[in-house]
Amino acid sequence: MSCLVDGTIPPSSGLSSSSALVCCAGLVTMEANQKSLSKVALAELCAKCERYIGTEGGGMDQSISFLAERGKAKLIEFKPLRATDVKLPDGAVFVISNCCVEMNKAATSHFNIRVVECRIAAKMLARARGLDSSGLLKLAQVQTELKASLEEMLALVDEVLHPEEYSREEICQALDLTSEQFSTEVLSSNTQHVTHFKLHQRAKHVYGEAARVLRFQSVCSSEGADSIQTLGELMNQSHASCRDLYECSCPELDQLVDVCLKSGAVGSRLTGAGWGGCAVSMVPSEKVDTFLAGSEGVLLPSRSTQGSHGRFESLCVKARRGGSHSP
């Protein structure tokens, strides 16, 4: 099978270019071999492929790639994988802006370190509540086992995990693991060098973000008069949590989000894995022109050359109405 690969998604920008490539490869391979798989099966298979490559991500990007429908937002859930339609409010316009700092997840350990920290936090929470932590790898699994609400899990995080960094020795003692077991059973290949872990902050972000997702869906369903403002506030809370608790933002992204808010967005947050790339902003439709005028030509510091600057790029997407490029 000979393939020519091309694409228009900016690489390392938080817009799932790697997942798009893997999903495309899966479709092409299936077609070339005259096989047939459901969209759900394809999404799950492609998620496994990316983990095989070395990025310990979930399956959201692959799932929405296959399950998306034009003009609809989707709530993606797992175990089992399913997608639920979410009706975005009329008058909401989403603008994607790129700070132009590239983040290569496969070439760095930042992303996988966060996954490992969440894994350790899950085991610590499980053990504190008398669960067998050996088979628990995700914070969601602990919540399921405890049959607890997200609010109860947030309270448990505050009760069990201290905000100071954990050392390897403290974790091994708490989980009754040898140093060798910790390296082979908990850490991934590119996180073997890590000696200290922030567990409270990572778990607090994950459960808090899950609560915001469900709140976002609820606000959309209610179709209240102030829904756009409320959704914007949730997006702002999300970015603050990504920046302060999960620590996956960067100065350029934070500045970009600040520019977007000052230019008229009601909410703005990083998108994708973080550490660079894009922010997505919610802008009332009547303020789009003002927003674009206010952000056009804004210069952000560049890491590539001392003292140089670079413009960020924007893509304007109206909810349920397709998209249009801004200059």
% of residues, the chain, pLDDT over 70: 88
Instruction: State the pLDDT at residue 321.
Output: 41
Instruction: State the pLDDT at residue 298.
Output: 66
Residue 301 in 3-state DSSP?
strand
Q: How confident is the model over 179-220, as pLDDT tens digits?
A: 999 999 999 999 999 999 999 999 999 999 999 999 999 999
Residue 314 in 3-state DSSP?
strand
Backbone angles phi, psi at 147, to 5 degrees: 55, 45
Q: How confident is the model over 70-110, as pLDDT tens digits?
A: 888 999 999 899 999 999 999 999 999 888 888 766 667 88
Active site residues: 61
Backbone angles phi, psi at 205, to 5 degrees: -65, -45
Q: How far apart are CA 49 and CA 47, in angstroms?
A: 5
Confidence of residue 37 (pLDDT cuts 50, 70, 90): very high
- Number of other CB atoms surrounding residue 250 within 10 Å: 19
Backbone angles phi, psi at 232, to 5 degrees: -60, -40
pLDDT above 90 (res 306): no
pLDDT above 90 (res 146): yes
The tokens 């608790």 sit on which residue? 245
Confidence of residue 327 (pLDDT cuts 50, 70, 90): very low
Q: What is the mean pLDDT of residues 222-232?
A: 94
Confidence of residue 307 (pLDDT cuts 50, 70, 90): very low
pLDDT above 70 (res 265): yes
Residue 204 in 3-state DSSP?
helix
Q: Is the peptide bond before 80 cis (omega within 30 degrees of 0)?
A: yes
Instruction: State the pLDDT at residue 325.
Output: 39
> In sequence order, what DSSP letters do the residues of 255-293 get, joined into one string?
HHHHHHHHTT-SEEEE-SS-SSSEEEEEEEGGGHHHHHH
> From residue 225, how far is each of 6, 92, 230, 266, 320 by CA, in Å?
43, 12, 10, 14, 19
pLDDT above 90 (res 292): no
pLDDT above 80 (res 175): yes
> From residue 41, how far is each of 26, 63, 73 by CA, in Å?
11, 9, 21
Q: How far apart are CA 245 and CA 232, in angstroms?
A: 19
Q: What is the mean pLDDT of residues 241-268?
A: 95
Q: Which residues contact 181 (CB under 8 A, 6 or more apart)?
A: 172
Instruction: State the pLDDT at residue 108.
Output: 74
Q: Which residues pair with 318 in a beta bridge?
A: 93
Instruction: State the pLDDT at residue 106.
Output: 64
